[in-house]
Amino acid sequence: MEFTGNCWRHLHRSNITKIENSKIKSINMKENTLLVLLLLLSSLSKAQSVKIDTIPFTTKSSLLVFKGLINGIETDFAFDTGASLGVVTSAKANSANIKITGKKNITDSNEDVNSMKEGTIETVTIGSFKIKNVKSIVYDMPFLSCNNYYLLGANAINKLNWKIDFEKNLLYVSKSNFEYSSEMLEMPITYKNNRHFTTFTINETEFKNCLVDLGYNDFFEVSEKEPIFKKLKQENQDAIISGSRLTMSLSNIKINRYEALSFDNLILGNRRFDDLKIEIRANIENKIGLKFFSQLSSILILNNDNSKYYLKLSNQPISLQMSFDADCYLKNGKLIIMGKNNNSESSAKDLEAEEEVKSINGLEATDFKDECNFILWRIENLKKDNYQIEKLNGQKIIIKKQVLKS
C-alpha cells in the first residue's frame, strides 16, 4: 500500500508524539519514584533520629524507682522533680569514683538548711542516653542509704523527655518531645532552680508556683499560711482529720502536725476535679506529689523541651485513705510512736506521741538489726491494712487507716 506525502507526515508526527509522550511518562515515573524514595528515606531518617528507650519501674518504696548507671555502675534511681540536684550516698560516691568538688547549702523538704558536700558524676546513663557532668549532693540520708538509691534530681531529669505509663509500670525516655493527643490534659510548667512548678485554680482563686514534686509520695500538701486553705478548713471543720506524722527529709526525721480534708473544684487546664485529698501543714511549700499523677492519670508525659506536662486521665475515683493512725519508728534502740491521728474515732487514741512501745506486729526493738533493717521492714508494712502495737503495759492495739469524708 502506498502512502502519500501528507499521510506519511501525519503518521511520522503521530509516531513522534507517541515517543515524546512515552518519554514524558517515563520521566514522570522516574520523578515519582524518586519522590517516594526521598519521602521514605526522610521518614526512616526521622524515625531513626527519634530514639525512645523503654525502662521498667517500681513504686514499691513509694517512690518511682528504675535502674540506671552512675559512672558505669548499675544503680537504682529514685525519680525526683522536686530536688534541684541529685543526691548520692557516700558509699556510692566512693565505689563510683565521684569527685567531691566543694560544699553547698541545701534546704530540704522540712525547710531545714544544712551545708553538704557536692560532687560531680562524670556520666549518668539512663537507658542508652548519657548525661555528662551531673552535679549531685553527697549525703547519707538513711532512706537512700538503706535502699541503695541514687536520688535523680531535676538537673538531670530536665535533659530528657519522659513518658510514664502507670498501668504498665514503664518509663519511656527520649531526647525528643513525646507525641500527645488532643484529649490529653495540658499542664504548663515553669522551672526555678531546675525544679518544676505549675499553676491551677481552686474555688476561682488562682494558685501559682505549686511545686511538682514526684519525690513526694502523697497527693497534695499545702501551707496553712495560704488564705484559701484557711477558708477550706473553716468550711470543713467536721470533716478534718488532724494529727502529727513522721516526715523524712534529706537531713533529718521530724514529727510534724497536719490537718487533712477532702475538697472540690480544682481546675487544672480546662478540667474540674472533685473529691480530692489535701493535707495542710505549717512552714512548707505547696506541692503536688506522685499520687496526684498516678491516681488522676494513666499516662503522664513530661516534655521538658517545650515545658509542658500532658495527662491521659484515668477517670477513676481518687483514694481518700489516710496513712496509719499511728506511726512507729526505731529511735535510739527503742520503738517510739512518731505521730498519730488525734480524732476521737482514731484507732490510736490510747497512744501518745513519742511514747515508747514494747512491740510492733510482735517484733521488739532488739529484733531489728539496725535502723536500715527497720526502714526496709517499715516500707513493706506500710502496704498492709493494719498492724498491731503492744504497749509496755501489755495492752494490744490494732492500728488502722482512716478515710476522709467526701
Same domain as 278, residue 303: yes
C-alpha distances in angstroms, 67 versus 165, 279, 302, 340?
A: 16, 31, 19, 35
Report if residue 30 sits inside a domain.
no
Q: Same domain for 117 and 197?
A: no
Does 12 map to a domain? Answer: no
CA distance 369 to 361: 16
Question: Residue 16: is its pLDDT beyond 80?
Answer: no
The number of folded domains in the chain is 3
Q: Name the band, by pLDDT with cuts 50, 70 and 90, for residue 406.
A: confident
**Per-residue pLDDT tens over the stretch 303-316:** 999 999 999 999 88
Q: Are 77 and 96 in contact (CB under 8 A)?
A: no
Euclidean distance between CA atoms 263 and 220, whole angstroms: 11
CB 143 within 8 A of CB 70: no
Q: What is the CATH number of the domain that holds 61?
A: 2.40.70.10
User: How high is the pLDDT of residue 12?
Assistant: 43
Q: Is the pLDDT of residue 154 over 70?
A: yes
3-class DSSP state for residue 305?
Answer: coil
Give 6's pLDDT tier (boundaries 50, 70, 90): very low
C-alpha to C-alpha distance for 120 and 98, rounded to whole angstroms: 6
Mean pLDDT of 42-61: 78
Span 76-89, average pLDDT: 96
Q: Quote the pLDDT of residue 112.
A: 72
Domain containing residue 370: CATH number: 2.30.42.10
Provide the H-helix boundaries in 300-394.
371-381
Domain boundary residue, one of 295, 321, 347: 321
* Same-domain pairing of 150 and 280: no
Write the single-letter amino acid at 5: G
pTM of the shown model: 0.85
Q: What is the mean pLDDT of residues 54-74?
A: 96
The answer to whether residue 42 is domain-embedded is no
- CB atoms near residue 16 (< 10 Å): 10
Q: Residue 73's domain spans which residues?
A: 54-171
Choose one of 145, 171, 197: the last residue of a domain.
171
State what percent of residues in the chain have pLDDT above 90: 71
Claim to verify: residue 213 and residue 248 sit in the same structural domain: yes
Q: How high does pLDDT run on average in the chain?
A: 88
Looking at residue 294, its pLDDT comes to 97
Based on the domain organization, do 163 and 190 belong to the same domain? no
